[in-house]
Amino acid sequence: GENVEQHPSTLSVQEGDSAVIKCTYSDSASNYFPWYKQELGKGPQLIIDIRSNVGEKKDQRIAVTLNKTAKHFSLHITETQPEDSAVYFCAASKRGGTGFQKLVFGTGTRLLVSP
């Protein structure tokens, strides 16, 4: 089955710096890669996702890149702010047809943005 590895487990940056979180997946058939942000005491919130037919997607300060050949994808946050501090999870799944394909999550990255 699919296995998703995520690095680093913790990341500390200064406000205004960029942050990059990387994930690798094992199943070459995976074609959907979402990123979730989880703040303390809350459920995961979808912040951005990418499908395998594109290599990059951007939404304001957040971007995700995908390298299908190497089977890795990354989350990039620019101009970080203290409110970006949270745990970030990557995930992978195979989407297609009518069948459900479960999300497999990475181990999470705790991002701390210091003022």
Give the binding site for another protein (CB under 8 A).
Answer: 32, 34, 36, 41-46, 49, 89, 95-103, 105-108
Which C-beta is closer to another protein: that of 72 or that of 78? 72
The angle subtended at Cα 60 by Cα 105 and Cα 80, nearest 5°, is: 75
Residue 16 CB burial class (10 angstroms; 0-12, 13-18, ≥19):
exposed
Which C-beta is closer to another protein: that of 15 or that of 51? 51
Which C-beta is closer to another protein: that of 69 or that of 98? 98
